[in-house]
Amino acid sequence: MLIHEIIFMIITTILRLRTSHANSTNETINNASMFPAILVFGDSTIDTGNNNYINTIIRANFPPYGCNFPGRNATGRFSNGKLIPDFIASLMGIKDTVPPFLDPHLSDSDILTGVCFASAGSGYDNYTDLATLSLSVAKQADMLRSYLARLNRIAGEEKAATILSEALVIVSSGTNDFDINLYDTPSPRVKLGVNGYQNFILSGVKNFVQELYDIGCRKIMVLGLPPIGCLPIQMTMDRQKQSERRCIDKQNSDSKRYNKKLKKSLTVIQSNLSGSVIFYADIYGAILDMATNPQRYGIKETTRGCCGTGEMELSYLCNPLTPTCPDPNHFLFWDDIHPTQLAYLVVSLSLVDQIIHVLH
C-alpha cells in the first residue's frame, strides 16, 4: 500500500471519529447523523454523474476518470476518485457516496438519504449553460421538485417535508460563469466588467437560494469560488511558458472579492427567510494553501493536471489513450480544471469543520 493511501485512510478515520456520526444503513434514515439527507446542486466539482444522462460532451464516464474510485469505476465524476459531496456525506454519517438524481436505478433508500442534482458545465448564467449544454440551476430546481414528489410517495408528505427541511443542502457554482463569460471566451457579459458581472452572478445566487427555500430547503451551504487563477486551464489560456506557470493574481483577487460579496449577500438573504440557516463556505483557502504550500500535503505538482500534459486535457481529451501521472496524490489537479481525490478530501475536511461550526 502506498504511503498516500495509508494517509488517506488515517485522515478519513480521524474525521469519522471527530464528527462522531455512524454510517447510515441501506434501508433506514440515519438518526445518528446531524442530517437525514444530503442534496447537492451546482457544477462539475460536485456532479456525481448526472451528465451521463443528458446530451452534452461534458462527460467523465470513461477511464482514466474514476481510476481511484471504489471498483475503479468511471462514474461521471470529474476526478480520479470521490468528490466533496461523497466525502461530506460519509463524514457526516449520511451515506458513503451521493448518487446522481438522473440515475434510472435509484432506490427508495437513495431518495430518503439524498441525491445530487449538479451538472458539469453549469452556472448561474444562462449563457454558460448554452455553451456547455448542461443542466441550468433552474432545471436543477425542477429536478428537486420531481425528487420531492417521489419522496412524498415513499415517506408521506409530512415526513418528506421534514427530511427536506433538515437535509444538508450544498450549492457550488460560479467558476464556469467567470471562466466562460469573463476570462476565456468572447461573451456579451464582458461589457459588464468584473464588478458588474459579479453582481449579476450574485443576483442569480439569490434567486436560486430563494427557489430552494420556496420548495422547502432550510439548511443551505453555498460554496464560494476557488482561486480561479490557480486552475491549470487558466494558466494555459494565459499563454504562460511551461517553465513559468503560476497562479494568476488578478483572477485570484477577483475570486476573493466575489467571495466577500457572496458572504455578505447570504447573510442578508438568510435574514429575510425565516427559519433558514443559509451560510457561506470557504473553499478558496484550502485550495490556495495546497497551491502555495504543497509540501504540507505531499503534493509535488500544482500547475498541471495528472492527466496527459495537464495543461489542456478535460473530458474527452482525458481518455483511455491519455497517459496519466504515476501517482495522482502527488498532484493538486487531476485534469486541467478539477482537483484530485486527495485535494477534494482536504477541502472536505475544511468544509466539515465549517458545517459543524455553523450548525452543531
Residue 14: the pLDDT is 45
Residue 307: the pLDDT is 96
Nearest of 298, 293, 301, 348 to residue 324 by alpha carbon: 301
Residue 243: the pLDDT is 82
CB-based contact 334:307 (threshold 8 Å)? yes
313: left (phi over 0), alpha (psi -120 to 50) or beta: beta
State the cell numbers at 181: 463569460
Residue 166: the pLDDT is 97
Which residue in this structure is represented by grid cell 455553523? 358
Residues composing the chain: 360
Which residue in this structure is represented by grid cell 503560476? 246
Can you list the positions of beta strands (E) in the chain? 38-42, 168-172, 219-223, 277-281, 301-305, 331-333
Distances (CA, A) of 53 to 134, 171, 349: 11, 21, 30
Residue 100 DSSP class? B
Q: Report the amino acid identity of residue 344.
A: Y
Residue 11: the pLDDT is 54
Residue 8: the pLDDT is 56
Bridge partners, residue 223, by sequence: 172, 281
CB-based contact 287:347 (threshold 8 Å)? yes
Residue 6: the pLDDT is 47
Residue 328: the pLDDT is 96
Which residue in this structure is represented by grid cell 415517506? 155
State the cell numbers at 191: 461589457
Residue 148: the pLDDT is 98
Domains of the chain: 35-284+341-359 (3.40.50.1110)
Residue 57: the pLDDT is 93
Nearest of 335, 224, 334, 345 to residue 279 by alpha carbon: 224
> Which residues of the chain are under the pLDDT cut of 50?
1-4, 6, 13-31
Residue 20: the pLDDT is 40
d(CA 99, CA 83): 11
Long-range contacts of 53-56 (CB under 8 A, 24+ apart): 53/100, 53/102, 53/103, 53/104, 54/102, 54/119, 54/133, 54/134, 54/135, 55/133, 56/120, 56/121, 56/132, 56/133, 56/134
Residue 22: the pLDDT is 34
Residue 359: the pLDDT is 85
pTM equals 0.91
Catalytic residues: 44, 335, 338
d(CA 261, CA 320): 41
**Percent of the chain whose pLDDT exceeds 90:** 84
d(CA 79, CA 282): 20
Q: What value does the mean pLDDT of the chain take?
A: 91
